[in-house]
Structure 1
């Protein structure tokens, strides 16, 4: 099952507004694939300033493997918001296996997604 996935994800994300690359690390708690596409979530265990408040949060990631034109989706950017009763926007909780569609082009590096079908569910 996707929630049986285990491993570590290391994040190195350049934030243009801060002119800084932030680093964080987390424990994977879900990984699911389709041909050319992967989605994973991880609970963050380490994070440097100015994102140290990520520690303890679950973040979602998606990757679209398009050869030299890959794309990524990141839950901590503009797409994971929830509107409260007063109309204000707040960061929404990320559940296991939840990540936005890959919306941002990868400008450096290359991802390789290797798809694996899920096993059939047991009968009964």
Structure 2
């Protein structure tokens, strides 16, 4: 084999190997493993001109092995709402997570609540998030009544992300779900 043919064959082999490795990394987590199917993480405060202190924090995940069933999502989220001496907070155990592009919907059952949110213990609530960098938006299932004890929802449901986050606090991260069609 002449020198040019050997160089061309080696170059082609190197490109094929690099392409295959690149495809494996692109479909995985960049570290040789597979990435989770979907995720919603981060914390932000909602914007309210009256000065309400409303915070939402998420740590919700759907494992790659469960990509066909968003009700196998795990994790928690927390929300609180205070203004003056009035308010309360709640911790929620995730029971569903769906994402599409930069939008996520997560639901879960309240496992701990206090203050004005104490009666919501054991209720399912839903939250939607639109990850827009530092200008994230958020919606919640109890928007019609303004009371999570009245608007319990089925799994994987919430209102559209209609609320704005307070400037500089939006850091929600949505990992898009790769819907398995086959």
Q: What interval of TM-score do these two structures reach, taking the shorter chain for normalisation?
A: 0.7 to 0.9
Q: How does 1:110-121 map to 2 (within 5 A)?
A: 110-120=171-181
Please report how far the alpha carbon of residue 114 of structure 1 lies from its aligned counterpart in structure 2 after TM superposition: 1.2
Using the size of structure 1 for normalisation, the TM-score is: 0.78
CA contact (8 A) 2:78 2:92 kept: yes
Q: Deviations over 1:33-76 (max 9, x none)?
A: 01110000010010011110110100000000111211000112
Counterpart-to-counterpart distance in 1, 2:104 and 2:131: 8
Counterpart-to-counterpart distance in 2, 1:110 and 1:19: 27
Corresponding residue of 2:143: 77
Task: Label 1:13 to 1:115 Cα distance change in 2 as closer, same or farther (>3 A).
Answer: farther
Unaligned runs of 5+ in 1: 82-89
Please report how far the alpha carbon of residue 100 of structure 1 lies from its aligned counterpart in structure 2 after TM superposition: 0.4
* Secondary structure, counterpart of 2:129 in structure 1: strand
Instruction: State which structure, 1 or 2, has the greater radius of gyration over its C-alpha atoms.
Output: 2
CA contact (8 A) 1:43 1:58 kept: yes
CA contact (8 A) 1:72 1:101 kept: yes
Task: Label 1:75 to 1:19 Cα distance change in 2 as closer, same or farther (>3 A).
Answer: farther
Moved over 4 A (4+): 18-21
* Higher relative helix content: 2
Task: Label 1:19 to 1:114 Cα distance change in 2 as closer, same or farther (>3 A).
Answer: farther
The answer on 1:61 being equivalent to 2:127 is yes
Match of 2:80 among 12, 18, 28: 12
CA contact (8 A) 1:79 1:100 kept: no
Using the size of structure 2 for normalisation, the TM-score is: 0.55
Corresponding residue of 1:39: 105
Would you say how many aligned residue pairs link Structure 1 and Structure 2? 111
* Higher relative strand content: 1
Aligned alpha-carbon RMSD (Å): 2.3
